[in-house]
Amino acid sequence: MNADIVIIGCGAAGLMAATGAAKTGAGVLVIEKMPRPGRKIMISGKGRCNITNLKDWNSFSQHIHPKANFLKPAFYNLPPEETIRFLNDNGLETVVERGDRVFPASYKASDVVDTLVKAMRQAGARLMPGTETADICKSGDGFTISLADGKTIAARKLILATGGLSYPGTGSTGDGYRWAEALGHKINRCFPSLTALVPCGYKAIPEKAPGKGHIDRSLPLSDLGKSLMGNQLKNVTLTVSIDGNVVAEEFGDIDFTDGGIEGPAGFKVSRRCVNALCNGSKVKFSIDLKPAVAMESLAKRVETLWNEIAGDRRSRGKSEKDMFRILLGKLLPMSVTEGFVKTCPGMDTRSLCRNLKNWEFRICGYVGYERCVVTAGGVSTDEISPKTMESKIVPGLYFAGEIMDLDGDTGGYNLQTAFSTGMLAGMSAAK
């Protein structure tokens, strides 16, 4: 079997690459090892699918790592507004939410996948689902793709859009890294990003398990984890220290989940924290539960509340411990108080304000690829042309999406990166 352009991987980047290439009239074949395309899109945004983010380049680029400028030509070739127009023209209605985030109006990720697949097919690309690639080699002016069933495909151009390592159940098992490396490309160290960070004592970790690094999400929660799991803290300030030095401060919401600390603020710092833990550094979180209130004002508020509780006739006969829990309930969501007390032993009215403004957690690990949103690291962008997505090492080889060392924060940045790099790779390969 022969094709002008073969694309391996039919996720967000592969779908857009196929459309971009096929609409020029090129013969495009997409190989996807999963039975259906777009499996990772289906679970993005907890099934709601945050398609993109409408920030301009200057603001958007601040959310891209590690080298945002590599994305710039692809971004301007297909900016967020054009992504929305493309989806709207193909029948998908969209809505914009807080933070410039864009979702399908139905809030169904399946509608996004259906729209992308329809656009790809209408452009003329062919799809081979349930087809696993075994090997790739350079052959003359093109490529030979060997399939697991023993068949081969000859291609003039090849686009690798195989994704990274996150959520391997969707088909992202790192195959593309192996093929890229065999073709001469450097693979920068990969690690999970946009993932849960696990406080020390949050999981019932077996005695022989390592103290730092990957902590599987399936491990049971400890009593501390059970007391905090399910709580969301809104409008708090999260400060991150690595080896005793403050490296980041984020204001927003955090969630305590069965994995650890997540939510927008937690995800924002996860990339840096996971990298630090991989390097053997010590990571500590400090949460200011009352960032809008100065310490002095908070102390006066605590004193006033304590006096009111102590003077209330309903407090007669209550122990100081019971009255202290009533005080906590007036300052925190009641569901948080048990976990708060567990992490602040010996706390009393004198130390309460300090703990409210500086609730500390040592971070012992992170949830790995089994439930992280995106893979950091990958094919070095130093070896890829940002204007075309073509390899600087192997003519005719292109890259798109998460396989490259290019990842974003939560909020629609990763899908837009996949769409932009996919469209540019497809158009460039078809020229």
Q: Is the pLDDT of residue 284 over 70?
A: yes
DSSP string, 9-46: --SHHHHHHHHHHHTTT--EEEE-SSSSS-HHHHHGGG
Strands, E assignment, 200-269 = 232-242, 245-256, 261-262
Owner of token pair 């048990």: 338
Residue 210: predicted pLDDT: 47
Residue 211: predicted pLDDT: 47
d(C-alpha 260, C-alpha 199), whole Å: 7
pTM here?
0.94
Range name among 82-91, 199-208, 302-311 with the lowest pLDDT average? 199-208
Host H or E run for residue 292: none
Given a contact cutoff of 8 angstroms between Cβ atoms, the answer to whether 286 and 358 are in contact is yes
Taking the CA atoms of 155, 418, 49 and 51 in sequence, report the sign of the dihedral they define: negative
- In 10 A of CB 332, how many CB atoms? 18
Residue 180: which of 161, 157, 165, 155 has the closest Cα? 161
Question: What residues have CB less than 8 Å from 253, skipping those under 6 apart?
Answer: 232, 233, 234, 235, 236, 263, 264, 265
Q: Which CATH number fits domain 2-191+375-430: 3.50.50.60, 1.20.1270.30, 3.30.460.10, 3.40.50.1000?
A: 3.50.50.60
pLDDT tens for residues 36-50?
999 999 999 889 999
pLDDT tens for residues 192-226?
999 999 999 999 976 545 445 899 999 999 999 99
Q: Where in the chain is the domain with CATH 3.50.50.60?
A: 2-191+375-430
Query: With bands split at pLDDT 50, 70 and 90, how would you rate the model's confidence at 372?
Result: very high
